[in-house]
Structure 1
Amino acid sequence: MKRFGLVIIMIFCLGGIATAQTESFAIEDVDSIMQTKQKPILILLSTDWCKYCQMQKNQLAKNKDFQKQADNFYYIIFNAESKDSIVFNQKTFQYKATGLSSGIHELAIALNGSENIGFPTWVLLDSKYQVLFRYNGVLKPLEIKELLKAIEESR
């Protein structure tokens, strides 16, 4: 019986250590979810090979402010090298090869505002798909707070 009590105590203690995960929506689902409920759209343009992108995702998973505000916007992680055709804001975007084994998605270029793109890149859109904020690089905790404040003000 003592073991059972110890196990229960450990579960409660360790449960407090776990962090909530903010749900990331697929970019190809944005048009349909925006029809259900319009919110600002926060997009992280990243790639599979980008270590800074992975670091930023991990930071956000642990950021309490980000977790608390997650219901106020749609959070999208978009692989800028995706080869899928994507309909976004009622337009179709394709993968654009730039070499034998390299390329970038036209949607990443459109969201970035130019073909000169670095990773990670943050893009905040309002509910009408207008760009409110663009930032190339890793957001620091204070910058994340400022971004969340901008999201709150855009609602």
Structure 2
Amino acid sequence: MLRILIVFFFVLIQGSELSAQNRIVKFEEIKTLQEKEPKPIVVLIMTSWCKYCHAMKNTMTRDPKVAAVLNEKFYTVFLDAEDMNDIFFAGRTFKHKAGLHELARELGTQNGQVSYPTITVLNIKDEIIYQHDGFLNPRAMLFMLEKVSKN
């Protein structure tokens, strides 16, 4: 009986974690997705070595409330600022140059520099409508997402 209960709770926990996860898309998918269902795009600009970036990534994918809002109202993209691959987005090809990807520079520059993590929100015309550099906890992220989604 105890085994059955343990298995039941394990399945229950796994199922709730999966349902809370946010769907992450690639820049190359955006055009097709926007044609089917136009939504703003939330871009997390991050690096592999940034601990706050990984904390934000976890907030965006694992917090049930944040993931629900992102899934319902936005497309979510994670952009590694040090990615070496070319990215085609908004009719242009962006490349890695001198330690920083051109797309990270384009979407993340504030006051002449790129900080990590940076959240950039684009409207359905791929125009920047919001930028925030620095960590956002789940409550602050929800507040920002609700505010941006109303504009």
TM-score normalised to structure 2 length: 0.85
Secondary structure of the structure 1 residue equivalent to 2:9: helix
Q: Does 1:94 align with 2:101?
A: no
How far residue 4 of structure 1 moved from its aligned partner, in angstroms, is 6.2
Secondary structure of the structure 1 residue equivalent to 2:119: strand
Which residue of structure 2 aligns with residue 22 of structure 1? 22
**What percentage of aligned pairs have identical amino acids?**
28
CA distance in 1 between counterparts of 2:21 and 2:138 reads 17
How far residue 23 of structure 1 moved from its aligned partner, in angstroms, is 1.1
Contact 2:46 2:118 in 1 (8 A): yes
CA distance in 2 between counterparts of 1:7 and 1:143 reads 35
CA distance in 2 between counterparts of 1:30 and 1:16 reads 28
Which residue of structure 2 aligns with residue 85 of structure 1? 86
Which residue of structure 2 aligns with residue 104 of structure 1? 100
Choose which of 134, 140, 144 in structure 2 pairs with 1:137.
134
After superposition, the C-alpha distances for 1:13-34 in whole angstroms (9 at most, x for unaligned) are: 5347635211110122222222
Structure 2: runs of 5+ lacking an equivalent: none
CA distance in 2 between counterparts of 1:14 and 1:112 reads 36
CA distance in 2 between counterparts of 1:10 and 1:143 reads 31
After superposition, the C-alpha distances for 1:54-86 in whole angstroms (9 at most, x for unaligned) are: 111122333232122122100000111111111
Secondary structure of the structure 1 residue equivalent to 2:78: strand
CA distance in 2 between counterparts of 1:51 and 1:63 reads 17
Q: Does 1:118 align with 2:148?
A: no
CA distance in 1 between counterparts of 2:123 and 2:104 reads 17
Structural RMSD (CA): 2.2
Bigger-Rg structure (1/2): 1
How far residue 9 of structure 1 moved from its aligned partner, in angstroms, is 3.6
CA distance in 1 between counterparts of 2:120 and 2:73 reads 15
Q: What is the count of residue pairs matched by the alignment?
A: 148
